[in-house]
Structure 1
Amino acid sequence: MRGIVAPVTTNEAPRLLSQAPNFRDLGGYRTRGGGRVRSGVAYRSGALDRLDDADLAALRDLGIRQVVDLRTVFERENNADLLPDGADYIPLDVQGDHSTGADLVEVLTDPSRAESVFGDGGATRFMHEVNRILVTGEEARAGYAEAVRRIAAGPGPTVVHCTAGKDRTGWAAALVLELLDVPRETVFADYLASNDRLAGLRAAMRDISEQSGVDPELVWPMVECRRSYLEAAYTEVEEAFGSFEAYAAEGLGLAQSTIDALRGRMLE
């Protein structure tokens, strides 16, 4: 429905996991029709490889039954998730199971290469390209479609995550909220809310850069959520598929029955 436009809100729930600060509920948002997204069904997060006992207990208390990991094989093998008892683990690499993480580490240890790759706006261009690929890449389309099916089918609360929980996970969250008819501005607000939770990532990237003699300002665009990044993804949807509805149906191959099931589970 495209009638009532709900006010833009952000999900300011308490930070439930001390070692995964970007973990948060997708529930609580208003839809265009005046409904509300149900809490306790789907969560978004950064990596779950550093959870402590209290974090794992919190996930158990939330009843987490599925963990959908959007990271590459390099990331998964080097920083394996810690899972609450009884949770199914579903790796859905949306970047082609390659070594992007390894490539980035190599660039960040070489000042001259970092300058050539990320200088003169290169890091920003890189982020725009990443967000376009998340829409039209073959692995991305397959992975995001399966993530939606997993959330829609249950069997219980699901966590979707990548490493920082901002770009790959950000598009997963945008997809789900769009399918639930949450206003576009609210989707952007949810995406940008990651910026307040990424202090640890920014500090780590600054340390890595400075230790390698790389100017931290070169890579700063990669540790932020910027409106233009998500706009690049939406532009790709329009250019490749014509509309978000066509992207869901043709690009992702989502059946209307799956979308109806998602709405049945996640809308109050």
Structure 2
Amino acid sequence: MTNNGFLLSSAPNFRDLGGLRTSSGHTVRTGLLYRSDALHTIDKEELPVYNGLGIRQLVDLRTEHERETLPDVTPEGADYAAVSVQGPQADGANFSAALADPEKARAMFADGLAERFMFGVYRELVADATALEGYRDLVERAAKGPTALVFHCSAGKDRTGWGAALLLTLLGVDRATVVSDYLASNERQENTDKWMRLLAANSGLSWEEVAPMTRVRAEYLETAFAHADEIYGSFDTYVTEGLGLSTDTVDRLRHRMLT
């Protein structure tokens, strides 16, 4: 681990989901399931650490445009999988383009609208057909292996945040712990801040107007859980009917990931 407490300084939101306790007294195994921000940023100096983690699957949750613009550094011996959780026309997939257009940026994000935008993104991650397909794929890959697996988006906080919340909840981690893991992303946004400040400067918006999109809030995640309840009646029904995950897949995930 690097001196700043991060596994990888060049990808500060790269972290192990292992070590968390479940409500039934089990523990999520370490070294099997990682979450991260963008992985095109890995420094050459950190490649030995990155390659030494034994990662066998890299799951990229970004859109096609993001993947092509900033291709990942894939660990040695790992399979790469593009698994989008946002369609190309989704609002959450197009915010950077909107920020490049000052008129559009003001219409979408000024005067408190950025916060409303974020709540919409989280509802979209639960309800959108592309998201349902993508998150099902993520869980099935984690359950089937080979492990270890890392999944990521750009900032590692929203698309990845819901993916982590989904996996941890399936493993039996209680909601308060899930939220705590989610909020840990706020101290790991150095890379995100750099490019968001550039986008904000070009948009004509103040940093304060853009700020709701640069951090996670417990209310954002709770909106996703509440939307799953609203649509499906419960989280469990969201899993079985929305995501279409079988009991066998969830059992295999728990067998692989819990000790």
Scaled by the length of structure 2, the TM-score of the pair is 0.93
Work out whether residues 73 and 99 of structure 1, in 8 Å CA contact, stay in contact via their aligned partners in 2.
Answer: no
Q: In structure 2, the residue corresponding to 1:90 is in which secondary structure? A: strand
1:262 aligns with 2:253: yes
Bigger Cα displacement from structure 2, 96-105 vs 185-194: 96-105
Q: How far apart in 1 are the matches of 2:221 and 2:238? A: 15
Question: 1:72 touches 1:98 (CA, 8 Å); kept in 2?
Answer: no
- Name the CA distance, whole Å, in 2 between partners of 1:151 and 1:105: 30
Aligned counterpart, 1:55: 46
- In structure 1, the partner of 2:198 is 207
Paired residue for 1:6?
Answer: none
In structure 2, the CA distance between the partners of 1:240 and 1:222, relative to structure 1 (3 Å rule), is same
Change (3 A) 1:45 1:255: same
Cα distance, 1:19 vs structure 2: 1.1
Give me the whole-angstrom Cα distance separating, in 2, the residues matched to 1:134 and 1:208: 23
What is the match of residue 5 of structure 1? none
1:230–1:99 distance in 2 versus 1, CA, 3 Å: closer
| Partners of 2:185 and 2:216 within 8 A in 1 | yes
Q: TM-score, normalised by structure 1?
A: 0.90
Alignment-derived partner of residue 27 in structure 1 = 18
From 98, 122, 134, the equivalent of 1:131 is 122
User: 1:113 aligns to what?
Assistant: 104
- Once the two structures are overlaid, the 10-residue window that deviates more, 186-195 or 199-208, is 199-208
Q: Which residue of 2 aligns with 1:8?
A: none
Query: Cα 1:98–1:86, aligned 2, differ >3 Å: closer, same or farther?
Result: farther
Name the aligned partner's letter for residue 120 of structure 1: D
Deviations 1:90-132 (A, max 9, x none): 1111101448688433432343432221123211111101101
CA RMSD, 1 decimal: 1.8
**CA deviation after TM superposition for structure 1 residue 169, in Å:** 0.2
Q: Is the 8 A contact 2:13 2:37 kept in 1?
A: yes
Query: Is structure 2 residue 162 aligned with structure 1 residue 167?
Result: no
Q: Equivalent residue for 1:93? A: 84
In structure 2, the partner of 1:80 is 71
Which shows bigger deviation, 76-85 or 106-115? 106-115
Give 1:228 deviation, angstroms.
Answer: 1.0
The 3-state SS of whatever aligns with 1:21 is coil
SS for the counterpart of 2:154 is coil
Q: Which residue of the partner structure matches residue 228 of structure 1? A: 219
Letter in 2 for 1:74: H
Match for 2:159: what amino acid? R
Tell me if the contact between 1:74 and 1:101 (Cα under 8 Å) persists in the aligned partners: no
**How high is the sequence identity, in percent, across the aligned residues?**
51
Contact 2:57-2:81 at 8 Å conserved across structures:
yes
Measured against aligned partners, the alpha-carbon deviations of 1:143-185 in whole angstroms (never above 9, x if no partner) come to 1011011011111200010000000000000000000110100
Supply the AA of the counterpart residue of 2:24: G
**Alignment partner of 1:239 is 2:222:** no
